[in-house]
Amino acid sequence: MNIEYNNIDYILKVYDILEGVGSMRYIISGKNIEITKALREATIDKLSKMEKYFTPDNEAQITMSVQKLRHIIEVTIPIKGSIIRAEESAENMYTAIDKVVDVLERQLLRHKNKLISRHHNGTFKNDFINETMNDDLDDSKIEIVRTKRFAMKPMDVEEACLEMDLLGHDFFVFMNGETDEVNVVYKRKNGAYGLIEPTF
């Protein structure tokens, strides 16, 4: 087991937790929370449920934080050309871990067919690829029920956040007046704002 731990920032990195024996890699970092041995082991134990889907070449990036008494966990699993991501919060971190694992698994099963067709090579285990999907989880159809077109005037990020709040939306697409690029601002679960900037 190869572990790096920074006592100041509470950042812990775990590589090959089973010393390379068929396990994913886990990188765990914390903000305003100490990643104790018990919490680390509980996190890896719960997330190891995902190893029945992914090959050992994959990596799970876990970020834990505490904000206003809410325990938040964000898990990102990069796959070739895309990511699988979930974020959940609860009154304690152990409950948040359970919730985020359930969300990740539901996302994976719901979009199994498309994920496998796009990221087949080396990402998913053969048993997962070959197993039969339940009809109620089949993702063969994605129905677009509405298309919306609108003119975008240039504005800065702060104005875009204000527009989003005034409209009561969780995200807002706008033309960034500083870069002349299409950006997206969105509201995170903790009430803060996020900005998406495209790269080509």
pLDDT in tens, 35-84: 999 999 999 999 999 988 888 888 999 999 998 889 999 999 988 777 88
Tokens linked to 133: 């999907």
**5 pLDDT exceeds 60?**
no
Residue 193: partners with Cβ closer than 8 Å, 6 or more residues away? 161, 185, 186, 187
Phi, psi (degrees; rounded to nearest 5) at 10? 55, 45
Q: What is the mean pLDDT of residues 157-180?
A: 90
pLDDT in tens, 76-135: 998 877 788 999 999 999 999 999 999 999 888 887 777 777 755 678 887 787 774 544
Report pLDDT for 146: 82
Q: Where are the domains of the chain?
A: 2-137, 154-196
Which pLDDT band holds residue 142 (cuts at 50, 70, 90)?
Answer: low
Query: Who has greater pLDDT, 78 or 13?
Result: 78
CATH match for 154-196 among 3.30.505.50, 3.40.50.880, 3.40.50.720, 3.40.50.1970? 3.30.505.50
| Topology match between the domains 2-137 and 154-196 | no
Task: Answer yes or no: CATH 3.30.160.100 is held by domain 2-137.
Answer: yes
**147 pLDDT exceeds 90?**
no
Report pLDDT for 6: 40
Name the 3-class secondary structure at 106: helix
Query: Sheet of 154-155: strands edge to edge?
Result: 154-155, 171-176, 181-187, 193-196
Which pLDDT band holds residue 26 (cuts at 50, 70, 90)?
Answer: very high
